[in-house]
Amino acid sequence: MNIKILGTGCPNCQRLEQNTQQALEELKMEAVVEKVTRIEDIMGYGIMSTPALVVDGMVLVAGTVLGVEDIKEKLADL
């Protein structure tokens, strides 16, 4: 599983990354988590606001910070 956190490094982006890491730990899932901070790269996903959570190339959410439980639900549905 490849997970990308799209955002320029703002506090919300950092919180989404932390929540994602915690959700993965609690689910005992392994994934490559990377931050995408270049505006040009972020625009390539067709989102209008950050932070965004992208899993295996699919944008799951944009413009909001999901909590740990919400992320766990989304990952479990994949």
Q: CB-based burial of residue 2 (10 Å sphere; 0-12 exposed, 13-18 middle, 19+ buried)? A: exposed
Nearest to 22 by CA among 73, 71, 56: 71
Residues that are catalytic: 10, 13
